[in-house]
Amino acid sequence: MLTYSRYSTDTRKGSAKFFSAWQIGWVLFIGTSAILAILLLVNWLIANEVLRLKNVHVEGLHFMKKKEVLELANLDSTKNVYEFNFGDIEDRIKNHDLVRDAKVSMSLPSTIKIQVLEKEPLALWLNTKLVAIDEFGNLFPELEHQLFHDYPIITNLPLPKDTTDAYHKVVNFLRTVRSQSFALYSEISEISYSENIGIYFFLTEGAIPVFMGEGGISQKGTNLMKVYEILDSENGLANIEYLDLRFEDQVVVKELN
């Protein structure tokens, strides 16, 4: 005689159903996780490619070449734009003798912008060739001569041995004039210094000599520009032999005979 246990049969059926559901759930979990992982990897690869450095824009250059700035920046084109330390890039660029300041920024998705503020020459110093100098009289790195325009030329003066000699008197004069009266600064063609005359220069208009002497730069500059504007408006510059400001609060206008 066969005896069936109702309890054990139901229990086995329940166990089978439970095991089957757990198994399916686990498979679904693993499958879903794998799909999500693949999607995340694909998205990361796509995003990394989109953000990878493709363009570098350099602005503000007048004397330097773009190639020079890029060499200083030393950008790894395999990186994405978020991986760069902009402060380090700026520091490398600012180490160049022609750079006053540099700012680096990003433009999504794949461009880095470099804004360079170059040092502006104060004048050109003439020795065997023209050399640009900064506002303190320091020599610039060698520049292309075609970039030399609209800068006063310092002539007949050797390089300085200290900061009190004639060379630095001329440099200080030009720096002051440029900051206080750019109109006068732009009218200076050549400039020099002698013990008898002090500072003297030639105007771009008609190569008229101007004797400035020593001291009182600000007031002398103001007086000179007033007289210059009057003469220019009356077309009188062609008849001028020289202008002399060595006397206190006076502008002596010597006309041609």
Same fold, 55-118 and 123-255: no
End-to-end CA distance of the chain: 154
pLDDT at 141: 77
pLDDT at 20: 67
| Architecture (CATH level 2) of domain 123-255 | 3-Layer(aba) Sandwich (3.40)
Collect the ranges in the chain with pLDDT lower than 50: 1-2, 4, 7, 16
CB 228 within 8 A of CB 244: no
pLDDT at 160: 66
pLDDT at 231: 85
Q: Which residues pair with 201 in a beta bridge?
A: 191, 210
DSSP state of 127: S
DSSP state of 113: E
What's the token pair of residue 251? 């502008």
pLDDT at 188: 94
DSSP state of 246: -
pLDDT at 1: 45
Domain boundary assignment for the chain: 55-118, 123-255
pLDDT at 75: 93
What's the CATH fold of domain 55-118? Ubiquitin-like (UB roll) (3.10.20)
Strands (E), the chain: 55-59, 99-107, 111-118, 123-126, 130-133, 153-154, 188-194, 198-203, 209-213, 240-244, 252-255
pLDDT at 145: 56
pLDDT at 95: 92
What angle do helix axes 217-233 and 166-180 make, rounded to 10 degrees? 60
pLDDT at 10: 52
